[in-house]
Structure 1
Amino acid sequence: MSIVGKIYRGIELLFRFSVYALSHVSPRSDDLVVCTADPSGRFAENPKYVYLGLREREDIDAVWLARADSTANQLSDHGLPVQRGGTLGAKWTLLRAGTVIISHDIVGWELLGGATIVQTWHGNPLKQIGRDTDDFSPLRQWVQDYILRDWDVVTVTGSGTPKQTFTSAFGLSDDDLAVTGSPRNDPLYHDVEYSELDGLDEHAEWRTFISNNRCILYMPTWRRGTHGADGAEFDAHGLDFDTVGSFCEEHDLIFLVKLHPSESSDVGDYEHVLELPTSTDIYDILSEVEVLITDYSSVYFDYLLVDSPIVFYPYDLDSFSSGKGFYFEYDEVTPGRKAFTQPELLTAIDEILSGNDTYVDERADLRNEFFDHQDGHSTQRLIDRVLS
C-alpha cells in the first residue's frame, strides 16, 4: 500500500472509530435482531437458520442483512424481512438493533456500539484461526481487548475440545461461550422452512436432483495464497475429471464439486462430474450425499452427524500443514480412508461402495467428542441462550 493509501486508510479508520463511539448512545431495541453471513452475500451459514427460527417469535423482528442483490431480491420475493447492506435503511437498522448474529466478520461494526454481537462462526476448525495464527498482530489483539470487541457471545458445538479451541483462538472466558451446537446442522435432522433459499433460484432444482441420484461430494478447503488473491481460480488438485467421470459412469454416480465461495473454476462439461454453484448452502443437501471427500475443510466435522463415509484427500498434507498449522494431529481427527493420489481416491470410493465402511466407530468417537448435542435443536438453544 502506498503512503497516500495508508494515510487514507488511517483517516477512514479514525472516522469509523469515531462513529463507533457515538453509536453507543443510539437507542437500541431488544426486539430487533439483525442476521448476516459471509462477505460472498449468501443466505447461508448459522445466521440463516437463526433468522428462520426467529420467524416463529412474534415478539422479535428479525432482519437479514443481504450483501448481494440476488439474496435481497429472493428473500423479498418470499416476504421475508431483508435490508440490502450499505443502504441507508440497513445502516438505520444496525443503529437500532439490540442483537446482531454473525458467522464471519462484523458488517458495519462502526454502527454497533452497545449491541450484543453473537459470533456463531462457520465450523469446528482443523486449521488454526484467530490469535493462534502467525498473522494475528499484537495491535489487533489490543484493539479487540480494549476498544472494539468482536463479539459478546461465541457459540460452540461441544464443551470439551471445541470449547478449548475457541478459547485459545479468540481469547475467551467460559462466560463468553455458549454450547448450543450449530444451527446450520439442524436441517440434517429435519426440514426447515425456506432452507432451500440461498440466493440462487436453481437451488431447489439441485436439491431435487441430488435426492434422486447417488452423489459423492468433493469439498476441498480454500487455499488462500496458494493460487493468488481472493477469487483465484481453482485447479483440479491432481484430479483428471475425464477419468473421474468414467469411474462415476461405471458406478452410476454423480461426482459433485463444491468450492469455497472465494474461489472460481470451470470444471468442464461432464455428465457425471458437476460443479455446484459456490454460493450453494450445502447444509440443505448434505444429508443426501452418500460419501464426502475433503482434505482440511471443517465441513467433515458436520458430516459426522450424517454418519456416512468420509474419504480424505490431503494430497499436499506436508506443505499445507507447515504453512497453516493444525490444532490436532491430522490422522487423529480424520476418521476415514486417506488418499494422496487419484488412483488411491477412486480405490477408496470403490471399497466404500462395496460396503466396506471400517470407520464407523472412529466417526462415532469423534462425533461425541465434538458435539454435545446431536438432535437438530441447535437453533432453539441459541435463541433461548441469547434472547431469553
Structure 2
Amino acid sequence: MRKILIQLLAILLSLFIRKKEEKLIVLYFDGEKFLFNTRIFFKYLINVSKYDVKYIINDRKKREDLEKKYGKKFLSMDNLKEIKKILKAKAWLVDGGFPIKTPFNHKDRVLINFWHGSPIKHIGLDGYSGINKMRVWLQLKMFSSRYNGFFIISPRVKEIFKKTFLLEEDKIKLLGQPRNDLLFKKNDRKIILEKLYLNLPEYKKVILYAPTYRGNYGGKIIETKYFPFEDFDKENFELFLKENKILFLVRNHHLDRIKFDETEQIKLLGNEKVEDISEILNIFDILISDYSGMVFDYLQLKKPMLFLPYDLKEYEKNTGIYFNYEKVSPGPKPKNYFEFKNEINKLLNNKKYYLKERREMENYFNQIGDGNCKRAFDFLEKELKK
C-alpha cells in the first residue's frame, strides 16, 4: 500500500514539475537491486562522463553501502525531495519499467530501456493473461511511444519486442547490452573463487549450473528440480567431479528452496555471494541451464553448454517459449544421470562437440559484440543534444 501511495504522489508531482536538470541522468532497475545493464552503464558513466549520474536504491542499508564505494550517487523513492529530483532528470535509463509510472512530463526527457537480454521465454505482454494482460497493455500503451530507444542485440528478436512491448519499429535500436562488455573483460578465476570460498579443492575446470526459476502457476509455487534424474547418485557425482578435478557451482535463485547441501566439489553461488553473475560469467568452462536468456550471452564466449529441460512441455504451457527449443539450445540434453556425466566429459574433452550448433546460434542471436557501453553512451549523447 505504501508503494502505491508513493507512486500516486509522484504521478501527481509530475504534473507540476516541468523544468529538467540538463546534466541529471537517473538509472533504475527495480528500486531494490543494483543489477544488470543499468548497473554496468552507471559504472561506465561515472568514469567517462560529465553528467550528474544517480541510481535509484530504496533500501537505506544497501544505499549506504553503495555510497561508501561510489559516493553520493543514489536516490530513494522514499524521500519527497529525491522524488522531485528524479522527476527533474533529463534522462531515465532503465532495465524494465519506469521508476515513476507517469505518462506526464516526458516531452523533454530521454527514455532508454536496455531490457536485460534476449528472451527464450515469454516476456512483456506475452507473459500475462486475463485482466492482468489488459492492465499491462494499458501501461505499455501509455509509455511505449515515449521511448527514445529500446535496445536489442539481434534483429532476430525485433518483431518479438515490437509486439510484446507495443513498440514502434524506429524505437528499437540494435545497440547491444552494456553488461555484455563484461564478457570480454579479463578475470582472474583463481582470485575470484578464493574470495568467494574458503579451502577449495584442487580443480582444473569450473562448471556453472544456473537453472531458471519456475515461479508461481495458478497460485502454486513450482520448485526447480536440481539434478532432475531419477537415478542421480550424489556420492557418485562427487567422486566423478573429484576424479576429473571439476568444481561445480550452482546458481540457485533466491526464491528457490534448494534441497541439497554443499560438498567439497559442489558449492552454491547465490545472490549473497555474487549479485550480478554477468561480472564473472566468463570464468566458467561449461554453462548448464534450461530456459535462461543467459545462454545467449554465454554464446559469445564460444564455450560449451549443456541443457536440462526436464519440464519442457509444462514450461511451454505455463510460461511460453518463442522459439523451437531444440534449435536454440545448442548442446546435449541428457535424460539420465549416466548420460549427464558422459556429456560433461564430451564437452570438456572434445572442442568440436556441438561447435557447429553453437556457432549457428551465436550468428543468429548475437549481432553485437564488445563496445556496448560506448555505443549506448554515443546514442545517449546524441539524444540529449536534440
- For the criterion TM > 0.5, the same-fold answer is yes
Relative distance call for 1:16 and 1:282 in structure 2 (3 A) is closer
- Does the 8 A contact of 1:222 with 1:263 survive in 2? yes
Shift of 1:220: 0.5
The separation in 1 between residues aligned to 2:257 and 2:143, in whole angstroms, is 36
Relative distance call for 1:283 and 1:140 in structure 2 (3 A) is closer
- Picking from 86, 91, 116, the partner of 1:94 is 86
Relative distance call for 1:203 and 1:251 in structure 2 (3 A) is closer
RMSD, matched Cα: 3.3
1:58-79 deviation digits (Å, cap 9, x = unpaired): 4211112124445423321113
Alignment match, 1:59: 50
Give percent identity, aligned residues only. 24
Q: SS at 1:245's partner residue? A: helix
Relative distance call for 1:354 and 1:204 in structure 2 (3 A) is closer
Q: SS at 1:330's partner residue? A: coil
Q: SS at 1:337's partner residue? A: coil
Asked if residue 106 in structure 1 is aligned to residue 98 in structure 2, the reply is: yes
Alignment match, 1:32: 24
The separation in 2 between residues aligned to 1:78 and 1:133, in whole angstroms, is 37
Shift of 1:56: 2.8
- Picking from 310, 316, 325, the partner of 1:321 is 316
- Picking from 241, 244, 255, the partner of 1:251 is 244
- Does the 8 A contact of 1:207 with 1:285 survive in 2? no
The separation in 1 between residues aligned to 2:121 and 2:251, in whole angstroms, is 19
Relative distance call for 1:237 and 1:112 in structure 2 (3 A) is farther
Shift of 1:96: 1.8
- Does the 8 A contact of 1:227 with 1:233 survive in 2? no
Alignment match, 1:378: 372
Shift of 1:236: 2.6
- Report matched runs for 1:1-388 at 5 Å: 16=7, 19-20=10-11, 22-26=13-17, 27-38=19-30, 41-69=32-60, 71-80=62-71, 81-110=73-102, 113-114=105-106, 115-135=109-129, 137-146=133-142, 151-158=147-154, 160-190=155-185, 205-206=195-196, 214-225=205-216, 234-236=224-226, 238=228, 240=232, 241-265=234-258, 267-278=260-271, 280=274, 281-355=276-350, 357-374=352-369, 376-388=370-382
The separation in 2 between residues aligned to 1:125 and 1:42, in whole angstroms, is 21
- Does the 8 A contact of 1:21 with 1:113 survive in 2? no
- Does the 8 A contact of 2:296 with 2:366 survive in 1? no
Gaps of at least 5 residues in structure 1 are 1-7, 193-201
The separation in 1 between residues aligned to 2:220 and 2:76, in whole angstroms, is 26
Shift of 1:185: 0.7
- How high is the TM-score relative to the length of structure 2? 0.83
Shift of 1:319: 1.6
Moved more, 259-268 or 243-252: 259-268
Q: SS at 1:42's partner residue? A: coil
Alignment match, 1:198: none
The separation in 2 between residues aligned to 1:248 and 1:167, in whole angstroms, is 45
- How high is the TM-score relative to the length of structure 1? 0.83
Letter in 1 for 2:54: V
The separation in 2 between residues aligned to 1:20 and 1:346, in whole angstroms, is 55
- Does the 8 A contact of 1:244 with 1:273 survive in 2? no
Q: SS at 1:387's partner residue? A: helix
